[in-house]
Amino acid sequence: MNGLEYLRSLNQHSIKPGLERITEILHALGDPHLEIKTAVIAGTNGKTSTSAMLAEILFRAGFSTGLYTSPHLVRVGERIKINGNDIEDRNLNELIERVHGICKNKNIRPSYFELLTAAAFIFFKEQEVDFAVLETGMGGRWDAVNTARPLVCAITNISIDHTQHLGNTKEKIAAEKAGIAKHGIPLITGARDATLAVIEKICAEKKSPILKNREDFKCTENNGGFSYSGKVWEIENIIPAMRGRFQVSNAAIALACAETIATRGFDIPPEKAKEAIEKVRVGARMEYVRKNPPLIIDGAHNTESARRLAETIAENHPYERFVFIVAMSDDKNHAEFLRMIKPVCSRLILTRSKSGRSADAAKLLKFAPEGIEVETADNPEEALKKAEETSLPLCVTGSLFFAGEVRNLVL
């Protein structure tokens, strides 16, 4: 089998804690991760949006910029970009084959994510990018991208998710994600309260300077946009391309990262940063694939992201309630997710995605809130058909994998 076929043979949801395998693989490849200027972005929600914003800022400032995110929506090549362009399948196939060859020679059995991370590092090095923005896959401490030596790190926020791997409290999750902190490397965060205290303690132990949203930098909302105030930068009237108050928080983290990099001697004009935030979009993040009636696809997949989604829909459509098509992974808090979207939901259609982790619609039905019409569908196609018959505003959500499936059907 070729490289991409081998990659598809692996379970992309398999988690193998530890940095030993990826470190050995990268060393055999010449340690490409140590030859790239990087930024590492962790957090429960908003990692991809924040990473994309920072990459766009660096690109518009004139730097060749790599971006590594996960998961993908349709094509695995979406995870590895340079200057906004996905890696081509032939290039990714060749890189995977090279990494796989190293693994076979050394009798290493990498995870799906480790294999892709190694391929991304090689690609960015060989394409001679000026910077690479790296999103952690899930945690931080044992994440494959944590092998990098970044110029700046960030933790967007902390909420409950992936408890079987990261811990069952916000504090435990914060400790895992704060594992990206490095000696002398600034760490920027939007975390608050008890989780912030955990991150501050770990940063103090590692002598990593910490910059906190609302204290060391902040965004002030005004007239449909916001203004940014940092250590040096003052940027007025930014109108973000992506909707939602939570995107303002993501933009604050991205701008603080860019400003921190600029203080290291890199020429990043604030006006280019503003331009980037006003242009960059990420698929399946409050994405309007149709405006009349609205059809929104959003990858919300945990309680906090569901709350933010409902809040954003309420702000943008105060007089409308939506039909929701929902499919979720089996390990999520289904009751709380559905409870969060209830205030903006008139009808609920529950289904399942093709992902092996997807919960059955019958299981989701047990957690459906009272007071709204609920039905099930065997698959996304049937769910869409049922929803479109209503001619009402529609939102598809519950999982990034599911969002990708439906996006592929309607676009």
- Among the three residues 221, 248, 277, which one is the final residue of a domain in this structure? 277
Based on the fold, state whether residues 245 and 293 are members of the same structural domain: no
Please state, in angstroms and rounded to a whole number, the distance separating the CA atoms of residues 114 and 264. 30
Please state, in angstroms and rounded to a whole number, the distance separating the CA atoms of residues 66 and 376. 41
- Among the three residues 244, 277, 310, which one is the final residue of a domain in this structure? 277
* In-domain check, residue 282: no
Based on the fold, state whether residues 163 and 222 are members of the same structural domain: yes
* In-domain check, residue 398: yes
Determine the pLDDT at residue 365.
98
Q: Is the pLDDT of residue 165 over 90?
A: no
∠ Cα 92 97 103 (to 5°):
125
Q: What mean pLDDT comes out for the span 362-381? A: 97
Please state, in angstroms and rounded to a whole number, the distance separating the CA atoms of residues 205 and 197. 12
Domain region containing 315: 287-410
Determine the pLDDT at residue 124.
98
DSSP assignment of 38-77 equals EEEEE-SSSHHHHHHHHHHHHHHTT--EEEE-S--SS-GG
Number of domains making up the chain: 2
* In-domain check, residue 82: yes
> What count of other Cβ atoms lies within 10 Å of the Cβ of residue 317?
15
* In-domain check, residue 303: yes
User: The domain that contains 339 carries what CATH number?
Assistant: 3.90.190.20
Based on the fold, state whether residues 305 and 248 are members of the same structural domain: no
Tokens standing for 370?
């009272």
Based on the fold, state whether residues 101 and 228 are members of the same structural domain: yes
Based on the fold, state whether residues 223 and 146 are members of the same structural domain: yes
Determine the pLDDT at residue 169.
93
Q: Is the pLDDT of residue 90 over 90?
A: yes
What predicted TM-score, i.e. pTM, was given to this entire model? Answer: 0.97
Based on the fold, state whether residues 23 and 80 are members of the same structural domain: yes
Determine the pLDDT at residue 163.
65
Based on the fold, state whether residues 272 and 291 are members of the same structural domain: no
Residue pLDDT, tens place only, 172-192:
999 999 999 999 999 999 999
Based on the fold, state whether residues 250 and 345 are members of the same structural domain: no
* In-domain check, residue 232: yes
Task: Tell me the pLDDT band of 113, cut-offs 50, 70 and 90.
Answer: very high
Task: Tell me the pLDDT band of 328, cut-offs 50, 70 and 90.
Answer: very high
Find all residues with CB under 8 Å of 87, minimum gap 6, and list them.
77, 80, 81, 123
Q: What is the DSSP letter of 266?
A: -
* In-domain check, residue 225: yes
Based on the fold, state whether residues 147 and 272 are members of the same structural domain: yes
Based on the fold, state whether residues 65 and 28 are members of the same structural domain: yes
User: The domain that contains 94 carries what CATH number?
Assistant: 3.40.1190.10
* In-domain check, residue 23: yes
Based on the fold, state whether residues 189 and 297 are members of the same structural domain: no
∠ Cα 399 405 411 (to 5°):
125
Which ranges of 146-269 does DSSP label H, i.e. alpha helix? Answer: 163-166, 170-177, 193-206, 245-262
- Among the three residues 220, 249, 277, which one is the final residue of a domain in this structure? 277
Please state, in angstroms and rounded to a whole number, the distance separating the CA atoms of residues 201 and 54. 26
Residue pLDDT, tens place only, 250-286:
999 999 999 999 999 999 999 999 999 999 999 999 9
* In-domain check, residue 363: yes
**Mean pLDDT of all residues belonging to the chain:** 96
Based on the fold, state whether residues 190 and 295 are members of the same structural domain: no
